[in-house]
Structure 1
């Protein structure tokens, strides 16, 4: 079994597509006005509008902007460099500036416009670097 995708349900798909495109610097394919995907080497971040819920059984299946327990994480080459690039843009969303965590990653934590937590991180310690060596970042937005 492989985890291949996380999907965010939103009432503002255009806003989230623009937000994640700016944050990641990666292309996002918007297949329909109600569904888009940001594809990485490891997994996909899908963004679906609330209108897609009808295909899963109705509006009560998921509620947009209600998450307070999941963190969407992106492995990046240099979290400090990404913070410098995004500092002004992320100001209204910022939770924590780049900070080295006890498990060896330097993390930048912020919320997307729907309130979902997002973490950009770079492994710092030898143990953390080894853990992620097979998941090298394949896209450099600079």
Structure 2
């Protein structure tokens, strides 16, 4: 089994597509007006509109802009450089400026336009590098 993706359900797909393209610098492929994907070498962030919920059994299957338990994480080459580049874009959406965590990653925590937590991180200890690079 391989982990494939995480999907965000949103009431308005366009702002999230623009946001993730801006902060990651990667293109988002929008297949329909209700579904898009941001592909990275290690996984995919899918973005679906609330209209797609009908395909999964109804509108009450998921609720947009209500995530309080998951953090979407991206490994970046230099989290401090990413912060300097994005600080004006993120503004008050920054939750935590780059900080070194006890597990060896340096992390920048912010929210996307729907309020989902996003973590950009860079391993900074030899143990953290081993974890990600084998």
- Report the TM range for the smaller structure's normalisation: over 0.9
Match of 1:140 in 2: none
SS of equivalent residue, structure 2 residue 102: coil
Matches within 5 A, 1:58-77: 58-77=58-77
Q: Distance in 2 between matches of 1:4 and 1:57?
A: 21
SS of equivalent residue, structure 2 residue 115: coil
Q: Distance in 2 between matches of 1:57 and 1:79?
A: 39
How far is the alpha carbon of 1:115 from its aligned partner?
0.7
Matches within 5 A, 1:19-34: 19-34=19-34
TM-score when scaled to structure 2?
Answer: 0.98
TM-score when scaled to structure 1?
Answer: 0.93
SS of equivalent residue, structure 1 residue 127: helix
Match status 1:78 vs 2:72: no
State the aligned residue count: 134
Match of 1:6 in 2: 6
SS of equivalent residue, structure 1 residue 46: strand
Q: Distance in 2 between matches of 1:92 and 1:81?
A: 18
Match of 1:115 in 2: 115
SS of equivalent residue, structure 1 residue 98: strand
How far is the alpha carbon of 1:92 from its aligned partner?
2.1
Q: Gaps (5+ residues) in structure 2?
A: none
How far is the alpha carbon of 1:91 from its aligned partner?
1.1
Over the aligned positions, Cα root-mean-square deviation in angstroms equals: 0.7
* Residue-by-residue CA offset, 1:3-31 (whole Å, 9 max, x unaligned): 11000000010000000000100010000
Q: Greater strand share, 1 or 2?
A: 2
